[in-house]
Chain A
């Protein structure tokens, strides 16, 4: 691990001014960054510990929530307001990592975690994300866990977060502060597709700090679920996951939200399927048609073509279960 300096800050202004130093990186729970430093993928020379900042969950007058970037994953999943109003977010967080890691990891760090593509971690491998221009050994290699949507010839890595898939379905916004002022980005615009620059995961600019995640109140997330399919039943990254929320008006779909995990370089909001479902009867046939439309452009690699069918099935099953659920309990 490259040597570094360490500063713990208690004011956001101090964080932002230290964050402009060349080689600075913000440190949350460290569950991903420390590992990346050990693997020499990240080599910060100054760690700015921001775990003392933005540690609250605040409520707006409509029942929406602003979750501070420093809040631990466990605390979000335990918050009664999150569990009652945004149950899929609690489920998604609890589907990720282990209890130990969720106790350490912050919300901001979860959003910024990097892919777990094995080639990215292997310094003997060619990886455009790790060494731009070196090639991608995953595309011709063992790629069971890799992307089927939005990949490029340069990179087929997937975003590993479960939490972010739920946030994508919930129309969440990422609040950012930085040397040139603050700004908000929809979560669905925060992460990038790889294109020809897979080394850039997100739209976050140098020195910028995530300060909170905003969840607007809505009419759909009480009837929602997060389903995760993986190679073992716990503590594994998703092969496919589906965040789904459904608001019905009689037998018709008033509002639907769908996002997929484990299939792309970013949490994949299923806009095509949502558009196909809006106003339609909530039947399995329409769900299947919408899932088909969403996955129409999906491309499998040697080992992951099964994900295309799997994603469709999990979408349909999630929506069937939600449409059959008794009227949203809370």
Chain B
């Protein structure tokens, strides 16, 4: 199978039962993406596929051949942290850090959804053209990412501060 991960084309000979999460961690050594519940309940495994956030634990790798997959390892450029990573450090958006890669990938996916006009359950008028991004919107949209240390306040602050400035989550093209 052929994959495009963080801008690199990679081949893997894997069992059809392999999840995208296990492919990333066990076959490509990209252990930034974490395995929490392995059943879609915690969000620790969140990655971006063509800019959209998904749970890699519920994804069969075979379905994601040729798609542009971005993991937390693909967010740095020339060794510099992504602005959202900087903001998580500045605002104490974590304690143990296990959920953090998923939180960060998820927030980048959320920013993309806001740009493309995806409403949420707390959007006052679901038919309205414009969405006002406030505290409640961010909390609702990030509810697929659990933090068992309870660092939510710092997470929300980091995301709020960065939101306007998150670069488009376009995955890098394969060489």
Contact = CB atoms under 8 A, between A and B. Distances in A.
Contacts of A35: 39-40, 58
Interface of B is mostly: loop
B139 A4 contact: no
A104 B139 contact: no
B140 to A, nearest CB: 5
Contacts of A51: 63
B141 A99 contact: yes
B55 A101 contact: yes
Q: Which of A35, A84, A228, A234 has the most CB of B within 10 A?
A: A234
A169 interface: no
Contacts of B141: 99
Nearest to A83: B127
A83 B116 CA distance: 14
Interface stretch (A87-95, A278-286, A316-324): A87-95
Contacts of B60: 6, 27, 30, 34, 47
Contact of A78 (B54, B63, B116): B116
Interface in B30-87: 38-40, 43, 46, 52-55, 58-60, 62-63
Interface residues of B, number: 38
A175 B55 CA distance: 29
B93 interface: no
Contacts of B121: 91, 94-95, 228, 234
A94 B19 contact: no
Interface residues of A, number: 40
A65 to B, nearest CB: 14
A98 B17 contact: no
Interface in A27-83: 27, 29-31, 34-35, 38, 47, 49, 51, 74, 77-78, 80, 83
Interface stretch (B105-113, B150-158, B160-168): B105-113
B20 to A, nearest CB: 10
A3 interface: yes
A103 to B, nearest CB: 5
Contacts of B55: 31, 98, 100-101, 104
B120 A100 contact: no
Contact of B46 (A47, A91, A100, A329): A100
29 contacts: A3-B17, A4-B17, A5-B16, A27-B60, A27-B63, A30-B60, A31-B58, A35-B39, A35-B58, A47-B16, A77-B118, A78-B116, A94-B120, A94-B123, A97-B144, A98-B144, A99-B53, A99-B144, A100-B40, A100-B54, A100-B55, A101-B40, A101-B144, A104-B58, A233-B140, A234-B140, A234-B143, A329-B125, A329-B127
